[in-house]
Amino acid sequence: MLSLSKHCFFFWTKIGLSATSRTIELPNPLALDGGGELAQARLAYETYGELNDNRSNAILLCHALTGDQYVASTHPVTGKPGWWERMVGPGKPIDTDRFHVICANVIGSCMGSSGPASEAPDGTPYAMRFPVITIRDMVRAQVALLDELGIEKVHAVVGGSMGGMQALSLAANWPERAARVLVIASTSRHSAQNIAFHELGRQAVMADPNWAQGNYYATELQPDNGLAVARMAAHITYLSEEALTEKFGRNLQDRDAKSFGFDADFQVESYLRYQGSGFTQRFDANSYLYITRAMDYFDLAEEHGGKLADAFAGTEARFCLVSFDSDWLYPTSESRHVVRALNAAGAAVSFVELSAPHGHDSFLLDVPALDRVVKGFLG
Amino acid sequence: MRLYTPATNYGLRPDLAVIAKSIETESRVLDIGCGDGALMDVLVENRRCDARGMEIDGACVERCVAQGLSVVQGDANRDLADYPDKGFDYTVLSQTLQTATRPDEMLDQLLRVGRQAFVSFPNFAHWRTRAALMFGGKMPVTRAIPVSWYETPNIHHVTVKDFRELAQEKGAKIEREWFFSSGLPVTAGTNWRAEFAVFQLSR
């Protein structure tokens, strides 16, 4: 397995130098919800499509937990297509012939934006000295990016899963910055179950002796095993039981009979191991800790005096929420909870529960109804 | 329903057409059970209204949103409670009252959420319905009530007379009323002759 520290630093540097991803250093220190501020915060971002003359056709796209800015361009580490190429591009539902799509790597992540793997002022990686951040901090950084780009108001802010949390946070905290808010398979707060799964993942990382309190960047030993287990557990939550059964059933992997041992006898085991190890090649374990923490801390109502409707009081934005019937991570009831608050606030809101078999990951997969809704809502 | 749709009337069903024409321009409207958004579309395009919809059928909601309309997938029996008092100038409930779990409570919600409410429904006392029951001895299946008793969503059939009584009980004032048969207005003997009724109410 590749050494993550070298790898992470390698592409981190590479991105900074090459033209593939633009990186901006925010001019002002970034104030943080946890107190204090992050000086010289960097944001790496990609754009697709031209910004029009009156700067009114921008769409801010917010990525999910392990996503990044490579929405519709080849990932520099994996060489795989962008994570939402089916949705974003010329003539696609988010049409880059019409819209200027901006996607920034969130702070805390590891694809060029400031995170635990970045260099602290003392010249060594922050590791666990990186401040604990929130979803609102991530959004604050992106609002600062919009300021730098001279974009006062985006045509829409769009996000699925954690991206949806960012879209809601932007709508609640910077209501004048987005005309439309599209939230897919997301929630306004992390439930006990959501937190529980994330804690499982974090404990897997931290239980790996190679984690070394987060100080593994200078060594060859990486907490890959822990991070892989975290990813495996998380991956199960992204899929529906139906999808797993449909895809794997009880099929055996490359064998005719059970081994009566602990190899990956079943295809589903093999698949999860593959997902887990693949993930360690492109993601920093400490980033995983920080971002899952930010998601767990997310409770939009709590930020606004305990009443979610108050988060959206007076908003003039149009909202659209989409859930999937097979998503048990952020089920329809969570979207309804947001819709209820938006209705109480008198906001213009659309909501639809789409039928798709894939579970939470449906927002990334082939669901033609989602394409139509996205296209129609963006206008 | 297409049978009764004259080409004028914005291409709407007669009950929706009178509602569309009676709603003041640039008002705020909540269309409950908005279906494929035909009325909302006219209200937005021709009447410059801020129209919102609620619809239980996901496929209909998807079509509405794809058209750019603001529609929430929801169950009016439950979800109307989420809307603030008098948040809308008008609420519209077209041919849905008879499917409500509690039509009386739904009427309360309509008048709470909207300053004015439009309610349209098929009149169960129409002579065809009466004749079907009287002479056929079976639950009527007519062009206004086209679905058999065992699969109809209409669980609370209502007549013009019943509705007037309910409105009175609820302290609702009937501002205007319209009646139709075969898509044409009916003015006299409405409880016998109207296939469909539309009421505009306030409280």
Q: What is the pLDDT of residues A54-98, one digit of tens each?
A: 999 999 999 999 999 999 999 999 999 999 999 999 999 999 999
- The boundaries of the domain holding residue A98 are 4-192+299-378
Chain A positions touching B73 (Cβ under 8 A) are: 351-353
Contact yes or no for A376 and B66 at CB 8 A: yes
Do residue A265 and residue A216 come from a single domain?
yes
Q: Which of the listed residues A270, A291, A312 is the one where a domain comes to its end?
A: A291
| A28 touches B at CB < 8 Å | no
Do residue A362 and residue A309 come from a single domain?
yes
Q: Given the DSSP bridges, would you call strands A156-160 and A180-184 parallel, antiparallel or unpaired?
A: parallel
Is residue A110 pLDDT above 50, yes or no?
yes
Residue B4 in tokens: 């009764």
Chain B positions touching A372 (Cβ under 8 A) are: 62, 65-66
Chain B positions touching A376 (Cβ under 8 A) are: 65-68
Q: Which of the listed residues A262, A291, A320 is the one where a domain comes to its end?
A: A291
Do residue A320 and residue A240 come from a single domain?
no
Q: Which of the listed residues A291, A308, A342 is the one where a domain comes to its end?
A: A291
Among chain A residues, CA nearest to B71: A350
Chain A positions touching B69 (Cβ under 8 A) are: 350
Structural domain tally of chain A? 2
Q: What is the pLDDT of residues A136-194, one digit of tens each?
A: 999 999 999 999 999 999 999 999 999 999 999 999 999 999 999 999 999 999 999 99
Angle between helices A285-297 and A192-207 (to 10 degrees): 160
Contact yes or no for A348 and B79 at CB 8 A: no
CA distances from A120 to A6, A171, A267 (A): 17, 31, 43
CATH code, domain with A233: 1.10.1740.110
Do residue A187 and residue A203 come from a single domain?
no
Is residue A3 pLDDT above 90, yes or no?
no
| B70 touches A at CB < 8 Å | yes
Query: Is B2-123+157-202 a CATH 3.40.50.150 domain?
Result: yes
Smallest Cα distance from B71 to chain A, Å: 4
Query: Residue A9: its pLDDT value, please?
Result: 42
Q: What is the pLDDT of residues A17-32, one digit of tens each?
A: 333 589 999 999 999 9
Is residue A12 pLDDT above 50, yes or no?
no
Backbone angles phi, psi at A100, to 5 degrees: -100, 105
Do residue A287 and residue A321 come from a single domain?
no
Do residue A159 and residue A207 come from a single domain?
no
Give the H/E segment covering residue B180.
strand B173-181
Give the active site residue among A265, A284, A296, A327.
Answer: A327
Give the active site residue among A137, A360, A361, A362.
Answer: A360
d(CA A98, CA A373): 17
User: Coil, strand, or helix at residue B35?
Assistant: coil
Query: Residue A20: its pLDDT value, please?
Result: 57
pTM recorded for the entire structure: 0.92
Do residue A218 and residue A326 come from a single domain?
no
Among chain B residues, CA nearest to A354: B58
Contact yes or no for B66 and A352 at CB 8 A: no
d(CA A143, CA B78): 38
CATH code, domain with A340: 3.40.50.1820
